[in-house]
A and B are shown apart, each in its own frame.
Chain A
Amino acid sequence: MADDIKILVVDDEPVIIRSCESVLRSEGYNIEGVLGGKEAILKMEQTPYDLVFTDLKMPEVDGITLIKWIRQNRPDTGIVVITGYPSQDTIKDALEAGIIDYVPKPFTPAVLLDVTERSVQWIKGKAAVEEEKKEEEFPPSMRQEIDRVIKEYRNKPGSSIPVLQRCQAIVGYLPPVVQKRVAKGLNMSPAEIHSIVTFYSYFTMKPRGDHNVRVCLGTACYVKRVEEVLEKFKSTLKIDVGEVTEDKKFSIETVRCLGACGLAPVIVVDEETYGAMTPKKVQGVLEEYA
C-alpha cells in the first residue's frame, strides 16, 4: 500500500534526508530527497508528489515560499513541515499557507512514522471527498427545478421541510450539494438544513435504486413475521437495508407502518402496494420490475 505514495523530503541538512529515507523506505514508501526549495520546485515541475516534507529555514528559497508555490501549482500535494523552530509565528504562517501537520526537530522514527501515516490518511480522505463531489454533480435541469422550488417558497416561513421534500422528489435523494443549495436559497445555515435532513426518516442522503422496495416494520406486519420477508429481499438482492444493488436497479428501505395493517405483511415497491407478503412471493414481485 505504502509504495504507491511518493514523498519528497526538502531539507538543507543531509542527515535529516538520510534519516527520513531510512525510516520511511523500510516502511515501503517511495521517497526522494533534495537540499533546498529551488531544487524541490525543479523536481516538482517534472513529477507530482503525494507528500512533501519541508524545512522552513533554508537558504535561497525558504519553506514558506515553497509551500505557497506548491499550493499554487500542485494543489493535490500534501505538505508537512519539519522544523527546528516550531515557534508560533512560523507555524502560523505555514498553517495559513495550508499544511497538514508538522514534525519538530529532533524527532524519533515513531513520531515521523505517525505523522506520515496520518498525512497519508488525510490525503486519501481528501481524494475520497473529491471523488464524492464529482459523483454528486447533477444535471443543470435539476438545478433549475430546485431553484424554482426555492423561489416559490422563499418568503414563506417554515418552508424548509416542504422544499426538501420537493427537492428529494426531483433529485431522488439529498446529497450535501443539494442541501447547501437549499440552505443558501432559504437563507439558512447548511448545518440547520442538515439537522432537518438527518432528523426525519423521509429524507435520505443516499441515492435509491430505480425501484425502491419499502418494507413495513409496523406492529401488525411484525406479528405476521415481515422479518422473514425482509430477509428474503436482502438475500435475493444481495444488499442490506439502505443499500442499492450494483446495477442500481433496486434499493431496500424499511418504514414504520404504512397504515395498511389489514394487508400485513405489507411492502411497497415505488408506489405499488403488495399485501399478505410471504418469502415465497418475493421473487415474483421482483420479476415484475426486472
Chain B
Amino acid sequence: MTMSPAFKVTLRVLTGLALLVIYVPLLLVVLNSFNASQTFAWPPEDYTLEWWRKAVDSQGAKEAVVTSVQVALIASGISLVLGTMAAMALQRYRFFGRDTVSLLIILPIALPGIVTGIALNNAFRTVFGLDLGFLTIVVAHATFCIVTVFNNVLARLRRMGTNLEEASADLGASTFTTFRLVTFPMMRSALIAGGLLAFALSFDEIIVTTFTAGAQQQTLPIWIFNNLFRPNQAPVVNVVAVVLILLSVIPIWISQKLAGPTDGLAGR
C-alpha cells in the first residue's frame, strides 16, 4: 500500500507501544515471582526462590491443576464430537432454520458468561435435580466450547469442497469408509486446532465455572481467585501465574506448526 512514510512510521510506533503495554504486565508477573517482598514492593529490593519452593509444595494448587485438566479434556472431547457434527450438517446441507442453528451455536459465547452460568446453575439444580459437581462443570464447559470446534471445522469443510468425498462414494466406498479415509484425514488439523482452543477456553474459564462447580471441586482459576487476596498465598499464586504464562507457549507452538498465521485461532 502506498502510504505516506510519516504515516507508516506512526503506525509502527503505535504498534510498538501497544505490544509494550501487552507484555509489560506479563513480564512484571514473572519478575515478581522472584521478588523477596511478600507484597511485591516496587522496585524489588531483594530476590528469592522461596515462592517457587512453596508453590511446588502447594497441595491445593496441584489438585486444582488435576481437576482443571480432567474437565478440559472431557469438555473438549464432547465439543469435538458435537461441533464437528453441527459443522458438517450446516456446511453440507441446506435446510429450514439453518441461520438460527448457527446463531444458537455462538449464543453460549456471545451471551455474557454470567448469564450462561446462572441459567445452567438454575437448570441443573431445579430442573434436573443434580448436585453441582464435576459433571455439571463438564457439561457447562462443553456447551461454550462447541463453537470453537464448529468454527474451525466449518472453515475447513468450506475449503475442502465435496469433490473427493464424491469420488470416494463413486468408487464404492460406504458412508463410513469415506468419512474414515477421506473426510477425517482432511479435517484432522482443523480438529486439533479447534480442540486446543476448546481446551484452553475450558482451562481458563472462571465465570461459568463459579456457578456450576460444587463446593468440593476447585478448578485452577477458582483456586487462584480464592487465594488471590490472601497475603500468605499471593506469592504462590504469582508463581502459578508464571507457570501458566510459560505453558501458554505450547498450544501456540502446536497451532503454528499446524496452520497458517490466523487459521484456526481467530475465533474464540
Is B a genuine binding partner of A?
no
